[in-house]
């Protein structure tokens, strides 16, 4: 395939979408939507641990809460969660005090003091190990995955993995500000799914 020089960007290189969760000062759960996230291996003495890298852009409530608490949850966004996730991703928590009047079903973390989302098929509980300041308004949080909660139906090895992956129905945002399924069906542009919320 011939290639031409493109605009700098990560289109066509999909990453999963996550809702990062923390408790606000008033005790209510807070969520923001994030896609600059991936995994890494962390060798901890003799134990191989799984790490999670979260890049957070300009200053925002999610970053304030993560810095303050040193922990957060990362909840995989599936199709059922997309309208709410889109709302959380397009509503500024610092400027909209009523942002969190809309809530998913929240369950407390099993290991860490973080809110997790019952509707999400996979929830990580994360502890920040290091914050790296990359540039003005760009910070990378290197975390240890302390716990993973997975929807019961996804763990049965009798069902082929691909079937279970389709059942999990993660949503991607692989380019041009649009959401898609993992099989490539369009789920709308950023800011559209939230209009389906009642």
Residues within the interface to ligand FMN (CB under 6 A): 17, 32-36, 55-57, 60-62, 89-94, 99, 173, 190
Instruction: Tally helices (H) and strands (E) across the chain.
Output: 3, 12
Nearer to ligand FMN, 123 or 173 (CB): 173
Shortest Cβ 159–ligand FMN spacing (Å): 29
Rounded to whole angstroms, how far apart are CA atoms 71 and 129? 9
187 and 85 in contact (C-beta within 8 Å)?
A: no
Shortest Cβ 163–ligand FMN spacing (Å): 26
Nearer to ligand FMN, 4 or 135 (CB): 135
Nearer to ligand FMN, 61 or 112 (CB): 61
88 and 115 in contact (C-beta within 8 Å)?
A: no
Shortest Cβ 52–ligand FMN spacing (Å): 13
Nearer to ligand FMN, 35 or 73 (CB): 35
Q: With 0-12 CB in 10 A as exposed, 13-18 as middle and 19+ as buried, what is 145?
A: middle
Q: Which residues pair with 32 in a beta bridge?
A: 20
């Amino acid at each position: 395939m011939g290639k031409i020089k493109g605009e700098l960007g990560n289109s066509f290189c999909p990453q999963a979408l996550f809702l990062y969760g923390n408790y606000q000062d008033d005790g209510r759960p807070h969520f923001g939507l994030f896609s600059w996230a991936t995994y890494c291996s962390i060798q901890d003495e003799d134990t191989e641990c799984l790490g999670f890298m979260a890049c957070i852009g300009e200053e925002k409530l999610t970053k304030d809460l993560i810095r303050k608490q040193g922990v957060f949850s990362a909840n995989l966004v599936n199709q059922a969660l997309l309208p709410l996730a889109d709302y959380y991703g397009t509503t500024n928590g610092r400027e909209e005090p009523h942002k969190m009047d809309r809530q998913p079903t929240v369950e407390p973390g099993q290991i860490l003091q973080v809110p997790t989302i019952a509707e999400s098929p996979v929830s990580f509980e994360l502890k920040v190990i290091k914050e790296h300041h990359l540039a003005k308004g760009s910070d990378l949080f290197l975390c240890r995955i302390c716990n993973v909660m997975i929807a019961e139906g996804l763990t049965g090895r009798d069902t082929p993995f691909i079937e279970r992956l389709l059942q999990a129905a993660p949503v991607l945002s692989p380019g041009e500000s649009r959401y898609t399924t993992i099989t490539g069906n369009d789920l709308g542009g950023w800011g559209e799914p939230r209009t389906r919320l009642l």
